[in-house]
Amino acid sequence: MPNKDEIKGKTKEVKGNIKQKAGRVLDNPDLVDEGASDEAAGSLQKDFGTVRRKVGETIEKVGKATGR
């Protein structure tokens, strides 16, 4: 199940993608750049959340395997 960082990151990615498309339609390079920045930040946050979740799952599995 995705954690809050994964969800927020994906939301930022989508928001950034929409900003980029709007910037291209409106011929606004600043909006395109802002969208690209938002998308990259969202991707990073989503990936961080995924790593955090995987580490937690691994720790949980090790704990079960060792009987703790």
Q: In terms of residues, how long is the chain? A: 68
Which pLDDT tens digit goes with each residue over 23-65? Answer: 999 999 999 999 999 999 999 999 999 999 999 999 999 998 8
Looking at residue 67, its pLDDT comes to 80
**pLDDT-derived band of residue 68, with 50, 70 and 90 as boundaries?**
low
- Write down the pTM of the prediction: 0.84
Burial 19-55 (b: 16+ CB within 10 A, else e): bbeebeeeeeeebbeebeebbeebeebbeebeeeeee
